[in-house]
Structure 1
Amino acid sequence: MTVKAMIDALIAREGGFVDHPADRGGPTNWGITEAVARAEGYDGSMRTMPKSSAAAIYRRLYWEAPGFDRIAERAPALAEELFDTGVNMGPQIATGFLQRALNALNRNAADFADLVRDGSIGPKTLAALDRFLETRGPASEAVLRKAVDALQGERYLALAERRPANEAFVYGWLANRLD
């Protein structure tokens, strides 16, 4: 899937303007919070924010800046998962899930050294991913994607347990964000 198609699908899932009282993010449109929109230079009404503005923000902040485009060169389905997780939870959290999963799957550092879970995609994370994919073969990308998905699901449940108001969202998160 191209990045444009991925962003278009995400925008379609996110829908238009929402201002749910239980959402700490406040008013959102196309899944973009008002705080993010303002930080990115959008100063109009959130209710009328154009899809094109949201798409540009998604590409810049949630695809290119965290380096998910570099993951896509190696493992496109994994990059798509990281992008979606990063949009919902933040790119650093999504990257931390990747690093945590790689550490758990490296056979006690026999395949590659453990990564520092810093939430940043750098040369060591990319090298570990390359080694994992090379060592574990064709099914490895799907396994890694499942591991990231599992960590995401656990986080949704923890968020609902820590803040009961999040129970308003957990069903939708599980239904729409996990494969």
Structure 2
Amino acid sequence: MADFLTAYQTTMAHEGSYSNDPRDRGGETWRGIARNFWPNWPGWAIVDEIRHNAGAKFIQALQADEELDGLVMKFYNDGFWEKLLCGEFDQEIAAELFDTAVNQGTGTAGGYLQEALNLLNKNQEHYLDIAVDGKPGAKTIAAYRAYMATASIPGRSHEKNIRTLMKCLNGLQFAKYAEICKKTASQEVYFYGWVNRV
């Protein structure tokens, strides 16, 4: 079973701390939580209070606030890790799924997993196709386990199956970043950083 804290710490290293880049569609952002996309997150009340009281030490005060840290962790655990059932997958896959969800959304990340599993079932010889609805559930978990069971086929292994699925997930993730930049040229300023998450 995959560990949330391990994946969370890796993703938070990518997300950084505070930003308010006018080019970023998400607007004001704390630890990857964009105010324009998550305006009702309870942590914004703390951010606003700290901004009002801390002055020049605003960012340092944000970083030192334990209640805010707890709200960030709860936001990611409940809304991303648990929503995608990440604990049901191997650590590498769970961490990839989680990180992609944080950056591209849970529905997108879940859909990538489902699409990849369908592509890897050898025209349904190994297991049946599943719906690509972006909401992993019992059928997605069963398909994942059936895919991982194909590690017993000569020329395959558990590690090779993980690597192959990771390549599929990363390819789909990269294609989405490229699509975003083609549609909205202003977002190209983030492309280098995005690709380094793939």
Compute the TM-score of the two structures, normalised by the length of structure 2: 0.81
Pair 1:83 & 2:85 matched:
no
Q: Cα RMSD over matched residues? A: 1.8
Identify unmatched segments of 5+ residues in structure 1.
none
Counterpart selection for 1:45 from 33, 44, 47? 47
CA drift of 1:103 comes to 0.9
Number of equivalenced pairs:
174
Could you tell me which residue of structure 1 aligns to residue 134 of structure 2? 119
Name 2:78's counterpart in structure 1: 60
Aligned residue number for residue 146 of structure 2:
131
Larger radius of gyration between Structure 1 and Structure 2? 2
Greater mean alpha carbon deviation, residues 130-139 or residues 48-57: 48-57
Compute the displacement of 1:65 (Å). 1.8
**Which residue in 2 is equivalent to 1:145?**
166
* Offset at residue 147 of structure 1 (A): 0.5
Moved more, 11-20 or 146-155: 11-20
1:96/1:132 CA distance change after superposition, 3 Å: same
Q: Deviations over 1:79-109 (max 9, x none)?
A: 1100000000011111100111111111111
Contact 2:92 2:162 in 1 (8 A): yes
**Quick check: 2:12–2:31 contact (8 Å CA) kept in 1?**
yes
Q: TM-score, normalised by structure 1?
A: 0.89
Once residues 189 and 37 of structure 2 are traced to their aligned partners in structure 1, the CA distance between those partners, rounded to angstroms, is: 22
Instruction: For residue 13 of structure 1, report the CA deviation from its aligned partner.
Output: 2.2
| Counterpart in the other structure of 2:27 | 26
Is the CA contact (8 Å cut-off) linking 2:42 and 2:71 kept in structure 1? no
Q: Structure 2 CA distance, aligned partners of 1:90 and 1:5? A: 20
**Matches of 2:175 and 2:169, distance apart in 1:** 10
Q: Give how far 1:16 is off.
A: 1.2
Tell whether the 8 Å contact from 1:101 to 1:144 is kept in structure 2 after alignment: yes
